[in-house]
Amino acid sequence: MSCGNFEAENGLAAEIDEMNVGVMGVRSTSIHSWVAHKSIRKKMVCEPDPKWMVNARLYGWPGRTNGTYVQLGKPRDFKICRPGKSAIEAMFDNQQRPKLFLMFFTGNAVHRWANAPRRTGRDVKKLMEQLPSGTQCVFMTTVPSYSKKSNDLRKRSQLGIRKAFESYGSECEFVLGHTPLTVKTFQGNKTYFKTSKAGKVRDPYHSTSHGANKFLELRKDALCRAVFKQVKRARSTATATQN
């Protein structure tokens, strides 16, 4: 995905080019898994998947540019599972701390965020308290599913987590992944989901790589706008500090 037009418009091309980009996909986690201090509550981040014995895939982290599968907490250069610290705290407590932090969550917290506003508010409060001051951040909800029932719940979930960010007064940019256009594109459309030989959708919750690319195509402008707004905010803060 390229944000070339936005870079040119905002004069940020050189600044963006200097950034190293790392991507981490972790199994079945959400905000509450990443901000928890107790082992039992952060086990989805820190314990091996019982089937695959690893729980994440990394792109762009030191020495891992090709989508290597790893168990978080074990690589020497990526120890984010430490006693007494949440995964977020440990991630930022090292030399590779992110300057711009993008989060993509929805599915594994849909019931929590749709039906439990107090817990949703606590998730956001803990997250924002654990991010170092001045961290540039973007939060985006994820791809709609194949099922209408699931998407109706995800819509309520997205509303719940968005309200929590707004109520906290977070400076993170919030990007909607669940929109009328994305729902229309994915809901009931087998093109973007794994199917059996008989043509039946095997996994209605997770889109294929083709689907992920389509999703980013549809939401590229909104995501790019959010990223550059955060980069500009950081630049303004740095200028004000110097003056």
- 234 burial (CB, 10 Å; 0-12 / 13-18 / 19+) is middle
Helix (H, G, I), strand (E, B) or coil at 79: coil
Q: What pLDDT score was predicted for residue 62?
A: 59
Which residues are within 8 A (CB) of 219 and not within 5 positions of it... i.e. 6 or more apart? Answer: 140, 175, 176, 177, 179, 182
Total domain count, the chain: 2
Place of tokens 């980013």: 216
Identify whether 12 is part of a domain.
Answer: no
Q: Same domain for 119 and 50?
A: no
Residues 144 and 156 in one domain: yes
**Domain contains 11:** no
H or E segment to which residue 4 belongs: helix 4-10
Per residue in 191-209, is it b (16+ CB within 10 Å) or e — as a string?
Answer: ebbeeeeeeebeebbbbee
Q: Are residues 49 and 115 in the same domain?
A: no
Judgement on whether residues 79 and 109 belong to the same structural domain of the protein: no
What are the pLDDT tens digits along the chain (243 aa)? Answer: 567 666 565 666 666 667 777 888 888 899 999 999 988 888 888 888 888 888 888 887 655 567 888 887 675 556 788 888 999 998 888 666 788 899 999 888 999 999 999 999 999 999 999 999 888 999 999 999 999 999 999 999 999 999 999 999 988 999 999 999 999 999 999 999 999 999 999 999 999 999 999 999 999 999 999 988 898 877 766 544 444
Q: By residue range, what is the domain housing residue 26? A: 22-95
Q: Note whether 119 and 224 are same-domain residues.
A: yes
Judge whether 5 lies within some domain: no
- pTM of structure: 0.88
**Same structural domain, 164 and 228:** yes
Nearest residue to 21 (alpha-carbon basis) of 1, 48, 42:
1
Shared domain check, 138 and 89: no
Q: Are residues 37 and 112 in the same domain?
A: no
